[in-house]
Amino acid sequence: MKVLVLGAGGIGGYFGGRLAESGVDVTFLVRERRYKQMQERGLRVQSIHGDLHLEQPQMIQAGEAAGPFDVVLLSNKAYTLTESIDAIAPYVSEHTVVIPLLNGIAHMELLWDRFGRERVLGGLCFIETTLNAEGDVVQTSPIHDAVFGEWEGGKSERVEKIEQAFANINGTMRASNNIQREAWHKYLFIATFSGITTLMNSAVGPIREAAYGVELTRQLAEEIVSVMQALEAPIKPDIVEKQMETFQNQRPQTKSSMLRDMEKGLPVEADHLQGYLLERAEQSGLSTPLLKVVYNNLKVYELKREEGK
């Protein structure tokens, strides 16, 4: 099976590297700067699950001839989605399956519009990872899982073939019978987790220890659930309780990737995550005051970042 991975950052570099390590035919589609970096250093992963070094990973830049590919893994940030779709378009044939590993839901409509619903699976991942100053992937979470599946549910023959091809990696890349529900649940967690950690500018530990940290985290989750219920998202009735348990069990030093991006002065996915929910809340006449505060904090960061360039 031939796989094209868009990007070789924290997500694409990690899962693409693990796939290549297991023997899957992987090609990375990367920008010029990353291409040169990987030419010099290869792809290096520092992980609590074992380090990895691909000395000569297969790479292309946008527009180069390559393929055909069976699977395209999208690991980009949402704010580069339009550019990313244009980059992968020449490599998506009638037999190619696109698997996005982005957070949120809004990207699905754009992918369907460009490639058709029949070529796009649902996907998500659970991992804590980043790039260090040298461009190496640093992976620190006990969980390093990716999930994919048919958006309308069930397990098709093509999904089973992909799952079999990905079965031997150091980590998990599994098929789901209900990827929609898993995607909405992940969206709830990441919008809450990134929202509260960026608002408090803190890892999980101090938030839990502060007087109202857990209460405010729950309030944010409940506001987001109210929006998702208005959208008739297939979420479980007890999902807030389950996710608050997960929040309580996080390691004290755990930070959201959005907070890590802010600490590095990088762009954030405010519009794709919290902004999308706020827009839908307003359309439904819902009151989401804490979500507004979270979103406004992120937009202030974006404005200050632009002014500082």
Residue 242 a catalytic site member? no
CA quadruple 32, 8, 25, 43: dihedral sign? positive
Count of residues in the chain: 309
The b-or-e profile of 158-171 (16+ CB within 10 A means b, else e) is: ebeebbebbeebeb
Q: How far apart are CA 91 and CA 105, in angstroms?
A: 23
Q: Is the peptide bond before 237 cis (omega within 30 degrees of 0)?
A: no
What count of Cα atoms within 13 Å lies in the side-chain half-sphere of residue 224?
Answer: 33
Point out the catalytic residue in the list 186, 236, 299, 309: 186
2 and 27 Cβ atoms separated by less than 8 Å: yes
Average pLDDT by stretches of 10, the chain with 309 residues: 95 97 97 94 96 96 93 93 95 96 94 96 92 92 94 95 96 95 97 98 97 98 98 96 95 91 94 97 97 98 90
Q: How far apart are CA 153 and CA 178, in angstroms?
A: 5
What is the pLDDT at residue 309? 64
128 and 103 Cβ atoms separated by less than 8 Å: no
pLDDT of 261-288, one tens digit each?
999 999 999 999 999 999 999 999 999 9
Q: Where are the domains of the chain?
A: 2-177, 182-308
pLDDT of 290-307, one tens digit each?
999 999 999 999 999 999
Strand partners, 215: none
User: Quick one: which of 66, 58, 86, 63 has its CA closest to 74?
Assistant: 86
CATH code for the domain defined by 182-308? 1.10.1040.10
CA quadruple 141, 269, 233, 214: dihedral sign? positive
CATH of region 2-177, choose from 3.40.50.2300, 3.30.1490.20, 3.40.50.720, 3.90.190.10: 3.40.50.720
113: left (phi over 0), alpha (psi -120 to 50) or beta: alpha
Phi, psi of 18 (to 5 degrees): -65, -40
Q: How far apart are CA 194 and CA 114, in angstroms?
A: 29
What is the pLDDT at residue 98? 98
Please give the model's pTM, rounded to 2 decimal places: 0.91
67: left (phi over 0), alpha (psi -120 to 50) or beta: left
